[in-house]
Structure 1
Amino acid sequence: MAVSGQRRRPVVALYERIADAVHDGTYPPGSTLPSEPKLAAELGVSRPALREALLLLQEDGVLTVRRGVGRTVNDRPPRRGFEHVQPLEELIGAGTPLRVRALLRTVEEPTDFTTQHLLAPARAELRFWESVLTGEGTAAALSHEWAAPDELLDRVHPEFARALRATETGSRADTGSRAEAGPSAATGAGGSERRSAVSMLSVLVGASRETALSAHSGITATLLGRRRGDQLGRPADTPAVLVTQVVRVGEAPVLAAKHMLPTGAPALPVLQSH
């Protein structure tokens, strides 16, 4: 589905051209890509843009860099557009969904991450949700989720747009009704007695019974850092897995997320439809 009024970032478009060439057999599994100068000439692009796209493909498990050989296509590159779309709290809950605790529900301008993955124009307003996922009293993940601008959602996925507004309206009303009970019952960054919230992805999945979704994720190793460590109750130098995810309707990205899973969190299974 083409998105009118949206210009795809050149590196994103280049990433998809190379990924398509991998999946259609132009560059089959185990093959070595042409050198950067040759590939840039073949594709008619600049070498800096090509290098950035190749790095993204490497991070996403499509390519591997081998010393003395170059960039080769992995034997089993990730399948595009067939990732199993499931809320993280269900995916890592081992049969029992984790509890979602809302830390922040706000609107913010695009960051580098959302500009790249949601193709958000400058000064756009994006819904941002920050949540902690907990199970058996232990923080299992920290989630950052962004929705595409309202004007795009209203056009490509109006059900999701309406569901987001209804969820946020309900959350504000619930916060107001519980404010009289004292600060420990309010929604926000403090207090442990808050009622379980929902993730943005769960809202999207619930609103998509009649809408096909596709998703793409990347997984990298990192450290929590001080702020995330404080939010998860772990030391700043705790090893963690960072999962990035983009969910699309047709070609239009509607949600982007970052999920931080510290050491000791439930294992993240790799689920893809067949």
Structure 2
Amino acid sequence: MPPQGDRRHSPRVELYQRIVAAIDDGTFPPGAKLPSEPALAAQLGISRPALREVLILLQEDGVITRRQGSGSTVNQPPPPPGLERLLPVEALLGAGDVRCRRLAVEWEEPTDFSGYHLRLAPSARTCFWETVVEADGVPACFAHEWSADEATLRAVDPSLVTVLDVPSTASAPPTTMLAAFLASAAHLAMTARSTLGATTLGKERGEAISRPPEAPALLITQTVSALGQPLLAAKYLFPAGSPLLYLTPRR
């Protein structure tokens, strides 16, 4: 179960967010070089070792490119709201051996996050899935996904309820909830709103993949809707070092 409410961010995560925000607002536009490490550390009011840690993470996440002797260059701004095409995590992680491992499935009362994004009443019930998505045998993403309440799902398409209760088998291995929704109701014109940020793994997720709880992670939050109704709310956490995401531009 993911913790409810907001978790205080570490200084490293906050620094990551400050630099990404500066890229997003045009302070450091695509193709521009970041100031030298001494100059940038002084500008941000932090130590050079702390800055160097975050620059390494930004490079791992594909935000910047660092080259010895030539500094750091901005690759591209963070994705705009809404990933360019609505694709499940399994497709975003590329063409390698991508598999899902389910950690939790249960119907529960809304959390602050799911209640807000899915417009759920406090008495409603939402189906929660926690899934680890592995790329070539290495944990690449924690998927925390919540469905709309059963009445909303049935009103949009009854098959959306059906897939929530289907157990995983050898012939039907586990997937993310979004992948299941897209496969069961392919005729629906589903759209999404997404945001990009940073967080840390936390104790439970860190233990699941033998990483420290303070390990940084890229965070994508997403709300998927159809026919004017939110159907799914999700948090996708990609630990530092995960494969780059493959996004297909809108046509």
TM-score, normalised by the number of residues in structure 2: 0.64
1:248–1:95: structure 2 CA closer, same or farther, 3 Å change rule? Answer: same
Residue 156 of structure 2 corresponds to residue 203 of structure 1: no
Q: What amino acid is aligned across from residue 160 of structure 1 in structure 2?
A: L
Output one character per residue of 1:241-264: Cα deviation in whole Å (capped at 9) or x when no partner. 011111100321001111110111
Which one has a bigger Cα radius of gyration?
1
1:226 pairs with 2:226: no
- For the pair 1:87 / 2:64, whether they are aligned, the reply is no
Residue of structure 1 equivalent to 2:98: 98
Residue 149 of structure 1, CA deviation: 0.3
| 1:271 Cα deviation after fit | 3.4
Q: What does residue 194 of structure 2 align with?
A: 217
Structure 2 unaligned regions, length at least 5: 1-19, 28-76
Question: Which amino acid in the other structure matches residue 130 of structure 1?
Answer: E
Counterpart of 1:262 (choices 239, 243, 249) is 239
The residue that corresponds to 2:126 in the other structure is 126
8 Å CA contact 2:97, 2:136 repeated in 1: no
Secondary structure (helix, strand or coil) at the match of 1:233 reads coil
* Cα distance, 1:136 vs structure 2: 2.3
- Secondary structure of 1:100's partner? strand
Residues 93-172 of structure 1 aligned to structure 2 (within 5 Å) = 94-96=94-96, 98-165=98-165, 167=166, 170-171=167-168
Aligned residue for 1:153, secondary structure, equals helix
For residue 240 of structure 1, what is the aligned residue in structure 2? 217
Structure 1 segments unaligned to the other structure (5+ residues)? 1-58, 67-74, 179-194
- The SS at the match of 1:160 is helix
2:216 and 2:250 map into 1 onto residues whose CA distance is: 29
Structure with bigger helix share is 1
Tell me, yes or no, if the aligned pair for 1:248 and 1:254 is still in contact at 8 Å: yes
Amino acid in structure 1 at the alignment position of 2:221: T
CA distance in 1, matches of 2:21, 2:221: 10
Which residue does the alignment assign to 2:80? Answer: 78
The structural deviation recorded for 1:235 is: 1.3
Q: Look up the equivalent residue of 1:78 and give its one-letter code.
A: P
Separation in 1, partners of 2:186, 2:175: 18
> C-alpha deviations, 1:133-178, integer Å up to 9, x for none?
112221111111111000000001222222323x2xx34xx5xxx9
Normalising by structure 1, what TM-score? 0.59
